[in-house]
Amino acid sequence: MTDRSCLMIVLAAGEGTRMKSALPKVLHEIAGRPIVQHVLAGATAAGADRFAVVVGPGREDVAKAALVQAPGASVFVQSERLGTAHAVLMAREALLEPVDDVIVLYGDTPLVTPATLARVRAELDKGGHVVVLGFEAANPMGYGRLLIQDGKLLAIREERDATESERKVTLCNSGIMGFSGEHILGILDAIDNRNAKGEFYLTDAVEVARAKGLNATVVEGTEEEFLGVNDRRQLATCEAVFQSRRRNQAMLEGVTLQAPETVFFAADTQLSADVIIEPNVVFGPGVVVERGARIKAFSHLEGAHVREGAIVGPYARLRPGADIGRSAHIGNFVEIKNATIEDGAKANHLSYIGDARVGAKANIGAGTITCNYDGFGKYHTDIGANAFIGSNSSLVAPVKIADGAYVGSGSVITSDVPADSLAVGRGRQANKDGWAAAFRQRMQALKKR
Ligand code: UD1
Ligand code: MG
């Protein structure tokens, strides 16, 4: 990668009315992460040193989301939507500081790869003044066309301003453009708004640069990378592309996906080699799965850490703060929230374990519930190593069951249980000899009357 300095400017002033949403377009999520954060993450991976984000008036929410991904970014407000060149000029303050390369990105175009951005940087490195990222469009309608003559980029023509023959061109402008930091302000300040839309077009940078004796070139990417989000269908298309890429990446890194198209990742899901993911597994944000772990079918994980060799599912739910120890087993219809399940412990059937520690090799019987909430506060349950909790027990927190203790099935445990002892907290059983036979006889006699 080049050692030149790079400023990336993200245009995120669009409202996205076609989303029909109270939420601005760039805050809709792909793989659990706002679109604008995908753009910034890609730019970071491509080696940006500085970021500027241009938002619409009153869009503190967009600024906030951007700053989560790029904490050092400068935020600028474009109060009036006067065009893409005008939007970039809102970041004038950032452009006044010396920088080698500037790349303009769209906040609603989340699939551009760092490798493609690196090619734009390489072109600037070779002495490019204006570098346009283009692509061959299956259907070029609505895109600016790249007009090339004798291998030279002469201009970008917007659909509305194009002649019939220019409209036949299929090489299109992705919207992403690189500039030499030295020349960008001179170029942008010379752009006017004499066009069909009366806007200051960033695309006019090509003709302006050429008139100044500067060069303009094209770097080509694939159409898929430049898919933008304008409505919910395009949001779903981008989600599908992201998921497909992410699945391929996981498999290439040594993760088995038995039915890849049924596994859904979050943008930050971390899986080690030799993890096996069965069909229909969904990862929410913040999941780490270590080597050799197996996630069985129909499980949902979020904010969870699954350690080496653990088995989770089928039909398990891991919620934030679930920490599943090495070779631990979490089985069907078990929900774990904010709880550490230490190495080799087992909770295999129908349980809720919340705000708890389950010691190493402890066994949690079917139907065990930690009663962690009284409508006001949350309380902790501590279960020691090698403890055995009989089925259908309720552990009323705060409560501590010490190492090696047994809890009889069906107990309601409200006070601490000492180590290696047995706690039974349930009604005592009473057998009444012959009661059932007598009862049946009485009822049958009644029915015959
Ligand atoms: C733009 C390009 C076009 C390209 C297409 C790719 C121009 C003039 N045209 O057209 O060549 O093929 O993108 O999708 O640049 N924005 C602002 N402030 C503004 C105007 C736009 O922030 O005043 C932002 C929008 O939020 C959006 C981006 O800039 O993220 C592009 O604007 P949009 O209006 O969608 O441009 P297009 O007509 O699609
Ligand atoms: Mg657009």
The rounded Å distance from CA 128 to ligand 2 centre is 25
Position 402 pLDDT exceeds 80: yes
In sequence order, which residues have a C-beta less than 8 Å from that of residue 356 and are 6 or more positions away?
Answer: 338, 339, 340, 370, 372, 380, 381, 382, 383, 397
56 C-beta closer than 6 A to ligand 1: no
The rounded Å distance from CA 175 to ligand 1 centre is 7
Q: State mean pLDDT over 112-122.
A: 97
Query: Minimum-distance ligand to the CA of 108?
Result: 1
pLDDT at 189: 98
Position 257 pLDDT exceeds 80: yes
Query: Minimum-distance ligand to the CA of 226?
Result: 1
86 C-beta closer than 6 A to ligand 1: yes
Contact 355, 381 (CB under 8 A): yes
Closest Cα to atom 8, ligand 1: which residue?
201
Residue whose CB lies within 8 A of the most ligand 1 atoms, among 9, 62, 84, 109, for a mutation test: 84
pLDDT at 2: 78
**CA 230 to ligand 1: nearest atom:** 35
Mean pLDDT of the chain: 97
Q: State mean pLDDT over 1-9.
A: 91
pLDDT tens for each residue of 265-312:
999 999 999 999 999 999 999 999 999 999 999 999 999 999 999 999
Locate CATH 2.160.10.10 in the chain. Answer: 232-423
181 C-beta closer than 6 A to ligand 1: no
pLDDT tens for each residue of 370-381:
999 999 999 999
Q: State mean pLDDT over 320-336.
A: 99
Query: CA-CA-CA-CA torsion for 291, 297, 298, 299, nearest 10 degrees?
Result: -20
pLDDT tens for each residue of 15-68:
789 999 999 999 999 999 999 999 999 999 999 999 999 999 999 999 999 999
pLDDT at 1: 64
Pull the structure tokens for residue 9.
Answer: 């400017």
Position 365 pLDDT exceeds 70: yes
Pull the structure tokens for residue 311.
Answer: 């088995």
129 classed as catalytic: no
Q: For 232-423, CATH number?
A: 2.160.10.10
pLDDT at 449: 85
10 C-beta closer than 6 A to ligand 1: no
Q: Which of 28, 305, 349, 380 is catalytic?
A: 349
CA distance 301 to 275: 14
The rounded Å distance from CA 299 to ligand 1 centre is 41
Query: CA-CA-CA-CA torsion for 217, 221, 222, 228, nearest 10 degrees?
Result: -90
**CA 83 to ligand 1: nearest atom:** 23
- pTM of the complete model: 0.94
386 C-beta closer than 6 A to ligand 1: no
14 C-beta closer than 6 A to ligand 1: yes
Locate CATH 3.90.550.10 in the chain. Answer: 6-226
Closest CA relative to residue 381, chosen from 409, 428, 430, 414? 414
Q: State mean pLDDT over 179-201.
A: 97
CA distance 65 to 446: 74
CA distance 128 to 216: 7
CA distance 415 to 424: 11
**CA 11 to ligand 1: nearest atom:** 22
Confidence class of residue 218 from pLDDT cuts 50, 70 and 90? very high
225 C-beta closer than 6 A to ligand 1: no
CA distance 186 to 190: 7
Contact 295, 277 (CB under 8 A): yes
In this structure, which topology does domain 6-226 adopt according to CATH?
Spore Coat Polysaccharide Biosynthesis Protein SpsA; Chain A (3.90.550)
Secondary structure string (H, E, C) spanning 289-358: ECCCCEECCCCEECCCEECCCCEECCCCEECCCEEECCCCEEEEEEEEEEEEECCCCEEEEEEEEEEEEE
Q: State mean pLDDT over 209-224.
A: 98
172 CA to centre of own chain: 29
In sequence order, which residues have a C-beta less than 8 Å from that of residue 188 and are 6 or more positions away?
Answer: 85, 88, 89, 202, 205
CA distance 273 to 293: 9
Give the rounded percent of residues in the chain with a pLDDT score beyond 90: 98
**CA 174 to ligand 1: nearest atom:** 6
85 C-beta closer than 6 A to ligand 1: no
**CA 173 to ligand 1: nearest atom:** 12
